[in-house]
Chain A
Amino acid sequence: MKTSFTLAAGVALAVSVLALSSPASAQVKDSLTIYNAQHEGLTKEWAQAFTEETGIVVTIRQGGDLEIANQIVQEGANSPADVFLTENSPAMALVDGKGLFAPIDKATLDQVLPGFHPANGNWVGIAARSTVFAYDKTKLTEDKLPKSMLDLAKPEWKGRWTASPSGADFQAIVGALLQLKGEEATAAWLKGMKENATPIRGNSTAMKAVNAGQFEGALIYHYYYFGDVAKTGENTKNVGMHYFKNQDPGAFVSISGGGVLASSKHKEQAQAFLKWVTGKGGQKVLRDGTSFEYAVGKGEASNKMLTPIADLQAPKVEPSTLNNAKVTDMMTAAGLL
Chain B
Amino acid sequence: MTSITDTRISIAPRHRLPAASFWTLTIAVVVALLALLPLGFVLWAAAVTGWEMASQLIFRSRVGELLANTVLLVVFTIPICAVLGVSLAWLTERSDLPGARFWSWLCVTPLAVPAFVHSYAWIGQWPGFNGLPAGVAISVVAYFPFLYLPLSAAFRLLDPALEDQAASLGLAPFAVFRRVVLPQLRLALCGGALLVGLHLLAEYGLFAMIRFDTFTTAIIDQFQSTYNGVAAYMLALVLVLCCFVLLGLEASLRGRSRYARLGSGVARRPKVARLGKWKYAALLVPAVTAAFALGIPVLTLGRWLIAGGAGVWRIDEVGLTLWQTLVICLIGGIATTAAAVPIAWLSVRRPTRASRFLEGCYYLASSMPGVVVALALVTITVRAMLPLYQSVATIVLAYVVMFLPRALVSLRASIAQVPVEIEQAAASLGRSPGNALLATTIRLAAPGAAAGVALSSLGIMNELTATQMLAPNGTRTLAMAFWALTGEIDYAGAAPYAVLMVAFSLPLTFLLHHQSKKIAGR
Contacts and interface: CB of A to CB of B under 8 A. Distances in A.
A235 B489 contact: yes
Contacts of B342: 6, 9
Contact of B435 (A4, A68, A171, A324): A4
Contacts of A16: 335
Given A17-B396, A80-B390, A208-B127, A67 B489 contact: no
B231 A80 contact: no
Given A66-B225, A67-B227, A6 B24 contact: yes
Interface in B291-349: 331, 335, 338-339, 341-342
- Listed residue (B335, B474, B484) with the most chain A CB atoms within 10 angstroms of its CB: B474
B386 interface: yes
A61 interface: yes
A202 B19 CA distance: 57
Interface in A278-329: 324-325, 328
A70 interface: yes
A74 interface: yes
Interface string A1-31: 1111111111001001110111111000000
A73 B389 CA distance: 14
A164 to B, nearest CB: 10
A145 interface: no
Given A21-B393, A166-B221, A3 B127 contact: no
Contact of B231 (A208, A214, A337): A337
Nearest to A61: B473
A238 interface: no
A6 B231 contact: no
A201 B211 contact: yes
Interface in A36-77: 39-41, 59-64, 66-71, 73-75
B60 interface: yes
Contacts of B421: none
A25 B225 contact: no
B225 A4 contact: no
B389 A75 contact: yes
A328 B225 contact: yes
A23 B387 contact: yes
A174 to B, nearest CB: 11
Chain B's interface size range is: 35 or more
B128 A214 contact: yes
Q: Helix, strand, loop or mixed for chain A's interface?
A: helix
Interface string B350-393: 00000000000000000000000000000000110011111111
Contacts of B211: 198-201, 205
A61 B231 contact: no
Given A5-B438, A337-B231, A166 B488 contact: no
Contacts of B393: 17-18, 20-21
B55 interface: no
Contact of B434 (A5, A13, A200): A5
B44 interface: no
A41 B211 CA distance: 25
A201 B472 CA distance: 25
A33 to B, nearest CB: 6
B47 interface: no
A168 interface: yes
B164 interface: no
A241 interface: no
B111 interface: no
Given A3-B23, A75-B382, A59 B474 contact: yes
Given A23-B391, A337-B62, A212 B489 contact: no
A166 B216 CA distance: 13
Interface in A142-156: none
Given A2-B433, A22-B391, A202-B487, A60 B474 contact: yes
Contacts of A18: 393
B5 interface: no
A212 B211 CA distance: 15
B416 interface: no
A98 to B, nearest CB: 13
A66 B227 contact: yes
A204 B490 CA distance: 10
B461 to A, nearest CB: 18
Contacts of B231: 332, 337
25 contacts: A2-B434, A3-B19, A3-B22, A5-B20, A5-B434, A6-B23, A10-B26, A10-B27, A21-B392, A23-B390, A24-B390, A24-B391, A25-B473, A25-B474, A33-B473, A39-B488, A61-B473, A62-B484, A66-B224, A67-B223, A80-B390, A166-B224, A168-B225, A335-B60, A337-B62
Given A1-B432, A21-B391, A166-B224, 20 more contacts: A2-B19, A2-B433, A4-B435, A5-B20, A8-B434, A10-B23, A16-B335, A21-B387, A23-B390, A24-B472, A25-B473, A33-B473, A61-B474, A67-B224, A70-B227, A168-B224, A201-B208, A204-B489, A205-B489, A335-B65
- Top 9 closest A-B pairs, CB basis? A5-B434, A70-B227, A24-B472, A21-B393, A166-B221, A6-B23, A335-B62, A64-B224, A20-B392
Interface of A: 1-10, 13, 16-18, 20-25, 33, 39-41, 59-64, 66-71, 73-75, 78, 80, 166-168, 171, 198-202, 204-205, 208-209, 212, 214, 228, 235, 324-325, 328, 332-333, 335-337
